[in-house]
Amino acid sequence: MDDPGALLRQAVQLHQQGRLDAAATLYRRVLDAAPRQFDALHLLGVIERQRGNPARAAELIGAALQVDPGQARAHCNLGAALQDLDRPADALASYDAALRLDPRYALAWNNRGNALRRLGRQGEALDSYERALAIQAGYPEAWCQRAMLLNDLGRFEEAAASAEQASSRRPGYADALLALGNALQGMDLPADAVRAYDAALAAAPRQADAWCARGAALKKSGDLAAALDSYDRALALRPDYALAAHYRANALRALGRRDDARAAYHQALALGADGNDIAFALAALGEGALPDAAPRDYVRELFDGYAGRFERHLVGQLGYRTPALLAALLSRHGVAPAPGAAWHVADLGCGTGLCAPFLRPLAARLTGVDLSPKMLERAAQTGSYDALACAEIGDWLAGQEHDCDLLVAADVLVYIGALDTLFARAHAALGPGGRFAFSCEALEGADGYAITASNRFAHALAYVQRCAAQAGFVLVEAERAVLRREHGEDVQGWVVLLAA
């Protein structure tokens, strides 16, 4: 008769050598002789997870823990199998059980961070990664996962430093190099990001995510042909990759290949890309009805991702002038409260608060309104606002009847095409003598509004004037101005002041 102890020792040795089939055979022979042998159950479960069978792994490791629930390593391995099964809450419970048994178990802290990140509990996840690193400072996976989380949080400089720690401890660590590239892209350093992605792909060439991210950085750098090639490579590795298909369509559109772009957008839609975003892009290519506004989720996600570099990119690289132009417009027409008046000023689409410096002196009460929670977090840090509201501006205005004295919307109407409802709500929100100052991009040679190549709306001045008059406004001034620069070209627009 086989000696279970000898078989187990032999199985563990084979397992450590990576000979999984042979080790599994011996673990099963141990279990034939001793069905409740803890190590055989546990380690056969580990092999099943290594083979890509997490459900069977969880079953076996769970059976082992029924034999001996006091094994921290088994609880941690069960958590990993449950996480593979996309059961992060159950995985978290297993990691917590492991840590109750061994509070200095660095792997369990790291894996706990992964489960918390999956559950959207980002602050707790960051704490878990940092606890893992406090126990084991040279832990590359924890540095890497921490970098990924910091990227999620828009803390790109910290993410880059964390990714570099991971890479220094494990040269050629592809996931860490990908996280570094994402951080550099978030810092608006696309050329540096491309170099990080190239290093990641040198280490692991079959990373579809890295090819897709490289394409985004190349597009941002202006190298559209190379970006398109990167998206093609991502899709060759993962043909159902909806994000890469969507980005590929964007690159084709930017290259002026309109027919190819239309086909690519339909491919992205078939793969599961967001239908509203695709419809918006196709409308810009003349297919389908022209929408009244950009999809709210598109705008929210765009600016949540942009929050960490918004001011640096707009002011430093795009020469963004709209707040200064609006401030000059208001000053030129003497827009300021009368002595003793307590003005309520609303900064519509406030972003990070670039308009606050010139609005704060005018306001007894200054409210910022924006769709993006991460933009509002940055605005709150300025200390300039009395209140901040996370809302679509039209919805917010609908609840402010005659409560506002001045409305300002800098670079906001570029995400709203049809202005009639917005202007009617703005007029209703203003008290007698109230003012509405805003910017819009100029639509040349046509009436109405249209979507530009940058996925922004441009408006004809005649259309703006018509909507304003219908809402009951009087035009005070419309000044032609350069709002910013994009791809080396001036972006022409209007800064407009209306009186209620």
What confidence tens digit (pLDDT) does each residue in 173-204 have?
999 999 999 999 988 899 999 999 999 999 99
Other residues' Cβ atoms within 10 Å of the Cβ of residue 473 = 23
- Cα 183 to its chain centre, rounded Å, is 12
Determine the pLDDT at residue 446.
87
Angle, CA of 262, 266 and 267, to the nearest 5°: 115
Query: In 204-339, which ranges are continuous DSSP H helix?
Result: 208-221, 224-237, 242-254, 258-271, 275-284, 296-306, 310-311, 322-332
Is the pLDDT confidence value at 313 over 70? no
Is the pLDDT confidence value at 254 over 50? yes
CB of 481 closer than 8 Å to CB of 327: no
pLDDT band for position 404 (cuts 50, 70, 90): very high
- Smallest CA-to-CA distance from 411 within 460, 474, 354, 345 is with 354
**What is the C-alpha to C-alpha distance for residues 499 and 430, in angstroms, rounded to an integer?**
9
**What is the C-alpha to C-alpha distance for residues 35 and 231, in angstroms, rounded to an integer?**
51
Q: pLDDT higher for 125 or 304? A: 125
Determine the pLDDT at residue 315.
46
- Smallest CA-to-CA distance from 386 within 421, 358, 347, 419 is with 347
Provide the residue type at 334 as one letter. Answer: G
Q: Is the dihedral of CA 20, 52, 121, 380 positive or negative?
A: positive
pLDDT band for position 401 (cuts 50, 70, 90): confident
Percentage of the chain beyond pLDDT 70 is: 96
Q: Which residues pair with 430 in a beta bridge?
A: 404
The token pair that represents 293 in the structure block:
């506004």
pLDDT, the chain, mean: 92
- Name all domains of the chain by residue range, CATH numbers in brackets: 4-216 (1.25.40.10), 217-289 (1.25.40.10), 300-499 (3.40.50.150)
Q: pLDDT higher for 311 or 17? A: 17
Is the pLDDT confidence value at 412 over 60? yes
> DSSP 3-state assignment of 346?
strand
Q: Helix 373-382 crosses helix 296-306 at what angle (to 10 degrees)?
A: 50
Provide the residue type at 461 as one letter. Answer: L
Is the pLDDT confidence value at 247 over 90? yes
CB of 108 closer than 8 Å to CB of 102: yes
Is the pLDDT confidence value at 170 over 90? yes
pLDDT band for position 316 (cuts 50, 70, 90): very low
pLDDT band for position 1 (cuts 50, 70, 90): low
pTM score, two decimals?
0.80
Determine the pLDDT at residue 487.
60
Identify which of 121-125, 319-323, 480-484 has the greatest average pLDDT.
Answer: 121-125
Burial, 18: exposed, middle or buried (Cβ in 10 Å; 0-12, 13-18, 19+)?
A: exposed
| 202-236: pLDDT as tens digits | 999 999 999 999 999 999 888 999 999 999 999 99
CB of 425 closer than 8 Å to CB of 402: no
Identify which of 84-98, 181-195, 333-347 has the greatest average pLDDT.
Answer: 84-98
> DSSP 3-state assignment of 345?
strand
Is the pLDDT confidence value at 319 over 90? no
Determine the pLDDT at residue 318.
46
Determine the pLDDT at residue 156.
93
| 431-459: pLDDT as tens digits | 899 999 999 999 988 899 998 877 889 99
